Structure 1
Amino acid sequence: MIILSKNDFDKTINLIENNVKTVPTFAYSVLNNYMSGVVYADSKNPETILIGTESGIYFVAGKENNQEFNEFLCELYNQRKNKELRFTLFSSNEYWDRIIHELFKDNLKQINRYSYIYDKKQSHDKKLIANEYSIRKISEELIASSSEFNEDYYNEYWGSVANFTAKGFGYCMLHRGEVICECTSIFASLQFSEIDIETHKDYRGQGLGLIVAKAFINHCLENGIKPRWDCDISNASSIRLAEKLGFDNPSEYSIFVKNV
């Protein structure tokens, strides 16, 4: 097994884009050098690859019946399990679903998810908020005062707050100076930005997430970025919000997480 250098990432992009229906945004984040990560491959001209972030999220694609690679995948899982580190594995198709089941048995639990890509060009109405509230672009100062998408969150997914503010973006809503709702890019790349959204428990049920997400989508459209929305297929409230925002025709895929 080898670790590909950044000079060989183009070969990986060709492999996944020619053979995979749904490529997760974080895979592009690594390949586009937006986030630190690693690309494991069976050779410099890969047939099977594993793209991983530093936080322990992985995407496997390519030739499924690659015994040496699959043994490596199990070894990586065991290493992270022994260190009590995260191991979340995104599958690229139903064939990999079966291989992962065979390799990991009951150690990993399968979760089915939807992936939406916003393919509309019309932006949302910018008159979005009552006078007592305000919407601001997320900054280091606002991250420091957030209870949900705080410094720990951005360190986990982006490596640092500084990297997020340099390459990512998000919007939040304030009420009396307090951050009450946020919509941020959990992952981003040259082409995509994936939405993560949270509303403070005291302000839920008022449609604030819809408003902040519209500001996020408008920013994407103004900057030639495609917004993405991923959620579990069992998350009815997330699906409803996605549809209200204009996301439709999702692709279904599977992830595998440690069974507890």
Structure 2
Amino acid sequence: MIRQLEPENFHKAATVLAGLAAWNVYVTAVLQQTSPGRIYVDSVAQPSSVFAISIDCAYLAGNPHNDAFNAGVTQVLETTLLAGNRVNPADPELCICVDTPAWEPALADILSHWRWPPIWGANNHYIFAKPRLNWRDKLPAGYTIAQLDAKLLEAQGSQLPQTIADSIRIGWQSQQTFLQNGFGFVALHKGELVCWCLADVTVGKKCEIGIETAPTHRRLGLATAVTAATIEYCQQAGFTHIGWHCGQDNPGSMGTAVNVGFVLERPYNFYTFHYDEPGHYAELGRFYFQAAMYEEAADMLEIAIETDESPPAYVYFLAARAMAQLNEPVALDYLQTAVATGFKDWKLLCTLPEFAPYRNNPDFPRQVS
């Protein structure tokens, strides 16, 4: 049995969700109804199993051995989120976190009927402890740091980096909501926004932030400086809980967090579905490739290509790399198609070791001057 709570009853799930809320500000935001969300329970009067959904993630908490509730979660997923009725229509994927590892076998059963397998991931959650540096000492020459306010957003106009626009659209649903409830700081170089640290969610005195740097401006210390400037603002604004989530495969983000004064609160696993089938298989292929599981990567990438009307160049290129690792001649075909569809990183192409056996082939792609 599963029941959807009315917003006025969200507080009834607070006890079961307390463990997740302690390190996921989005959960608190849903409970306090400062951010959109849905909550499903096994019992309205006294919940013991809870499925909560925020605009960022979905969460399973409480008793994982409740078969009737778990079957209800499967039904909810199939009739709502996976069918297009989403809390956040702008988000291209569904991420699921659990409060204890005991949920993982149950989650496998819940998702077993979905037509493509979930992507397993590993993240770290950090919590800010105390400042470790003055950002003004870390800012490289030629760069300035500014708050991302209404004036700066208007001045950027169409030049605003797409990643920032997407973060505001997906995470806040509108620029107005971001300006009212969120905050952000950016590094500028000759008027261009090249590094940014934005609030992902805020509720009361709690917030979570994230960072990104434009590729051509990395390794200059900008992420550290902009994050430290953002932390300074958070402390002045009275935030007492500042969280940071990042992938365990992102050493740059983890290093930035530690450098500015965050400490590791916990590692955790999550499961992701891309609502777009080709995109999901492409991401699954990338996951397997990074794990050196080349046969599995090749299989997933071929499905991505078969199910997409116009596969992007990076999918063909990654398929070529996987096939090359397996010494399959079709690697050259995929590589040629990657170049034909827009791949242009000739330096990378000429340095990857898996393509060494193919470089003397007259059909191996070469840059035309």
TM range (shorter): 0.7 to 0.9
Q: Which runs of 5+ in 1 are unaligned?
A: none
Task: Please tell me whether the aligned partners of residues 59 and 92 of structure 1 are also in contact (alpha carbons under 8 angstroms).
Answer: yes
- The aligned residue for residue 242 of structure 1 is 257
CA contact (8 A) 1:35 1:159 kept: no
Aligned to 2:183: 169
Number of aligned residues: 257
Q: CA deviation at 1:65?
A: 1.4
AA paired with 1:101? Answer: A
Structure 2 CA distance for partners of 1:124 and 1:3, relative to 1, 3 Å: farther
Q: Deviations over 1:71-102 (max 9, x none)?
A: 12212333433449632111111111222123
CA 1:246 to 1:220, structure 2 compared with 1: closer, same or farther past 3 Å?
A: same
Identity level (%): 22
In the alignment, structure 1 residue 6 sits paired with structure 2 residue 7: yes
Q: CA deviation at 1:182?
A: 0.3
> Do residues 103 (structure 1) and 110 (structure 2) align?
yes
- 1:181 pairs with one of 191, 195, 198: 195
The alignment's C-alpha RMSD in Å is 2.4
Matched with 1:81 is 82
Cα distance in structure 2, aligned partners of 1:3 and 1:141: 41
Flag the 1:191–1:3 CA change in 2: closer, same or farther, 3 A: farther
What is the CA–CA distance in structure 2 between the aligned matches of 1:33 and 1:82, rounded to whole Å? 24
Question: Quick one: distance in 1 between partners of 2:82 and 2:63?
Answer: 25
1:37–1:52 Cα contact (<8 Å) kept: yes
Distance in 2 (alpha carbons) for counterparts of 1:132 and 1:24: 37
The CA deviation at 1:115 is: 0.6
| Kept in 2: contact 1:97–1:254 (CA 8 A) | no
Whichever residue aligns with residue 162 of structure 1, its letter is Q
Structure 2: stretches of 5+ with no match in the other structure: 86-91, 274-279, 282-369
Counterpart position of 1:209: 223
Is the CA contact (8 Å cut-off) linking 2:140 and 2:222 kept in structure 1?
Answer: no
SS at 2:230's partner residue?
helix
Separation (CA, whole Å) in 2 of partners of 1:150 and 1:184: 8
With over 3 angstroms needed to count, the CA separation of the structure-2 counterparts of 1:14 and 1:124, relative to structure 1, is: farther
Aligned equivalents of 2:171, 2:20: Cα separation in 1? 23
Matched, 1:114 2:148: no
Contact 1:20–1:93 under 8 Å retained in 2: no
Query: Which structure's relative contact order is higher, taking Cα pairs within 8 Å and 6+ residues apart?
Result: 1
Q: Deviations over 1:205-238 (max 9, x none)?
A: 1010100000111112222322111112222222
Distance (whole Å) between structure 1 residues aligned to residue 172 and residue 69 of structure 2: 27
Q: Please say if residues 22 and 92 of structure 1, whose CA atoms lie closer than 8 Å, have aligned partners that are also in contact.
A: no
Partner of 1:48: 49
Deviation at 1:198, TM superposition (A): 1.0
